[in-house]
Chains A and B, each alone.
Chain A
């Protein structure tokens, strides 16, 4: 069996095969201030004050607009908090906490092999730790709170093997962009992916999260990174014991296999207006930028910000015509950056550093783009108009974003770091 088949077999209580329809027990159901209020309203419309199936398996994470800047969102957040109180839901991670999936992971609430749903299409970044997590809409979440179960079509699995390795300043974001541009959005639609290859053995938790997060953009259901020593050590430190991580059987059946040569891969950038329009940085070198953003659920972890700090320390000040916005994924990441002296580097360089959250990625906060503005971002989506009508967005690694912010144009981070 593949990893997804194992997880869905356990959670549905029967041996599953691809394309079966199954009802799975849900281990954790998460709402945000984005989508969450609709869930509360619909739940009470349909089920009144009836207790939810299991308050200990529900979490609230506020990251969309943290803290609220408009009354509508303040009201929405209030609706969620009051519901939690009424229903005895204690896992409320309020606007000071950071991006939901990362907060839950740091608190040891995400277990390998479990099934997690959330009102966030990037829930599936938790495939990085062997968890089947998926973004769902309002109705799915209301149904889960009511019954503790949800229907799934068991996805087929594509096996992806990376051949070779890359070296600094190329990083996991570059590998990820290269990969999604090669596989495209059609083949993985509603499929699971399993990633293999030598480079996976070297992945740290932040690398795994970056790769798994962009499975959303290729319409994949989930992407699993095989556990290695570093990821197991991370999980142990959070969960309190060494968990069992599901792995595929020798005889697992895959719908497709893909091998991708990444030997010597240079830094990559996704050009407007799809994440698949990927080119080596050198092809678009010199493109003018107005904004630079380092953060998001894809690249807002401590190691991502450390990379940005290393570039800024070596490269100097942010270009006077550029706004560089840096947003740690969680409060824990922010605290670690503070202790490591990164805030000083960021502020000395002229960057804007904000509290944790989704920030510019959802235009919930901190910077909206005007017509004609060009942003280079470490996030995951550059869809037309997402961050402002008439704006252009490039996606790249934190290192490339930081280097570009200093020069005011798209820049290979290798110019400053080797």
Chain B
């Protein structure tokens, strides 16, 4: 699938408390959760109010480090952010995204190539990230193998539900 949208550029080592602060963990309403996405990222206070459906988060290295909270992926999904491109992901965020079928593209060469407000296109099949204005593109790495299969099923639960008890036993 191809996603086209406005980029929001975040720095390195954005942790899960910056993406979704611990004080909001008791919330379960998607609309309320979306209101706090990226709220604690320095300089991105306006993100939850101004981000539009289809926008894309472009982050530096180690995005999503810290807590195992899935809220960090869900709040972006609920806000309508179509995908996250990062130089690298922290394992826990990456895993939760795959399990939820949420598109994440690792793109080591993305640093300094996109600025907030640029319109970019992300192909989650090929991993290509392209600037719509300049046409310049950077090759990223989409999930492959089992991760691709899980994400492609719509997430881990959908993946497992399609299995018969015999197939589950054989996993």
Contact = CB atoms under 8 A, between A and B. Distances in A.
Interface of A: 21, 23, 34-35, 37-38, 41-42, 46, 64, 70, 72-73, 76, 119-121, 123, 135-140, 142-143, 146-147, 149, 151, 185-186, 189-190, 216-217, 219, 221, 274, 362-363, 381, 383-386, 389
Contacts, number: 112
Given A139-B100, A384-B42, A386-B22, A189 B66 contact: no
B62 A186 contact: yes
Contacts of B156: 139-140, 143, 151
B90 A219 contact: yes
Interface residues of B, number: 41
16 contacts: A35-B70, A46-B161, A72-B26, A76-B26, A120-B68, A137-B95, A139-B157, A140-B95, A143-B156, A143-B157, A147-B171, A151-B150, A362-B22, A383-B15, A384-B18, A386-B15
Given A139-B156, A383-B15, 7 more contacts: A70-B26, A136-B95, A147-B171, A186-B61, A219-B65, A219-B91, A389-B40
B15 to A, nearest CB: 5
Contact of B25 (A34, A41, A121, A384): A34
A189 B92 contact: no
Contact of B96 (A37, A70, A137, A217): A137
A185 B65 contact: yes
Interface string B36-76: 00001010000000000000000001100111111001000
Contacts of B26: 70, 72-73, 76
A70 B99 CA distance: 30
B127 interface: no
B91 A385 contact: no
Contact of A274 (B13, B67, B161): B13
A42 B160 CA distance: 14
A386 B138 CA distance: 34
A143 B150 CA distance: 12
Contacts of A386: 15, 17, 21-22
A72 B27 CA distance: 8
B145 interface: yes
B82 interface: no
B88 interface: yes
Contacts of B61: 186
